[in-house]
Amino acid sequence: MGSKCNLDCTYCYYLEKEQLYPAAENFRMKPAVLEKYVRDYIAAQPGPIVTFAWQGGEPTLAGLDFFQRAVELQKAHAGGRKIENAFQTNGTLLDDAWAEFFARENFLVGISIDGPAALHDTYRVDKGGRASFDRVMAGLTLLKKHGVEFNTLTTVHRRNATAPLEVYRFLRSVGSGYIQFIPIVERNAAADSTDGLWLAPPPEADDSDGLDQQVTEWTVRPIDYGNFLCRIFDEWVQRDVGKVFVQHFDAALANWVGQPAGVCIFSQDCGRGLAIEQNGDLYSCDHY
DSSP structure string for 34-49: HHHHHHHHHHH--SSE
Q: What Cα–Cα distance (Å) separates residue 129 from each residue in 117, 118, 132?
A: 15, 14, 9
pTM of the model: 0.92
Question: Does residue 96 carry a catalytic annotation?
Answer: no
For residue 211, pLDDT over 60 is answered with no
Task: Characterize the bridge pairing of strands 275-276 and 245-246.
Answer: unpaired
For residue 145, pLDDT over 70 is answered with yes
Higher pLDDT, 207 or 107: 107
For residue 266, pLDDT over 70 is answered with yes
Confidence category of residue 215, pLDDT binned at 50, 70, 90: confident
Over residues 4-59, the pLDDT tens digits come to 999 999 999 888 888 888 776 788 999 999 999 999 999 999 999 999 999 989 99
